């Protein structure tokens, strides 16, 4: 679901005939709609992962000192959500005619905004990749089938 949203954002940013890969015109409206996922509905994904992390910590008996990597996943969720909200605010600063407002120009203009969007996409992809390589592998290796079923049920209640 998250990866699908990232692909749609990249598609909205892709060069059009005669374009240069910079989001403009109707692209901005599309980008705003797509980014709303990352400032709202993605929260369900984040809360489900919190359930998994908390249960992993409890089941594995990890002390506070051992929890650094798992906690970093949860911290990164908040940073990603805040960064998506910041990009949304910048998208709103565009004028109706597609030109940069004075406020947006002071923040580096549309090229900076597009660079931030690409950076956000890269960070989400990196975060998901790290979860797949570490968090989910740890859960698969260390949890029993019954523990996984219980955690899955709790995650679906979120």
Domain boundaries, the chain: 2-156
For residues 29 and 88, the answer to whether their CB atoms sit within 8 Å is no
Least confident piece of the model among 26-30, 32-36, 79-83, 114-118:
26-30
Q: CA torsion sign, 83 to 88 to 89 to 91?
A: positive
Residue located via tokens 């910079």: 22
Task: Look up the pTM and report it.
Answer: 0.74
Q: CA torsion sign, 68 to 83 to 55 to 130?
A: negative
Across the range 139-144, mean pLDDT stands at 94
Angle 117-38-109 (CA atoms, 0-180°, nearest 5)? Answer: 30
Across the range 99-121, mean pLDDT stands at 69
Across the range 25-45, mean pLDDT stands at 77
């Amino acid at each position: 679901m998250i990866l699908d949203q990232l692909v749609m954002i990249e598609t909205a940013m892709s060069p059009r005939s005669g374009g240069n890969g910079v989001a403009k015109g109707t692209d901005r409206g599309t980008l705003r709609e797509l980014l709303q996922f990352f400032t709202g509905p993605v929260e369900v994904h984040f809360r489900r992962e919190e359930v998994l992390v908390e249960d992993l910590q409890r089941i594995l008996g990890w002390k506070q000192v051992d929890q650094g990597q798992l906690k970093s996943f949860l911290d990164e969720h908040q940073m990603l959500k805040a960064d998506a909200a910041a990009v949304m605010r910048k998208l709103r600063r565009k004028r109706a005619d597609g030109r940069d407002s004075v406020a947006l120009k002071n923040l580096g203009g549309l090229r900076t905004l597009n660079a931030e969007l690409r950076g956000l996409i890269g960070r989400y992809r990196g975060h998901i990749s790290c979860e797949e390589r570490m968090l989910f592998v740890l859960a698969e290796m260390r949890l029993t089938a019954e523990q996984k079923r219980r955690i899955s049920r709790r995650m679906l209640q979120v």
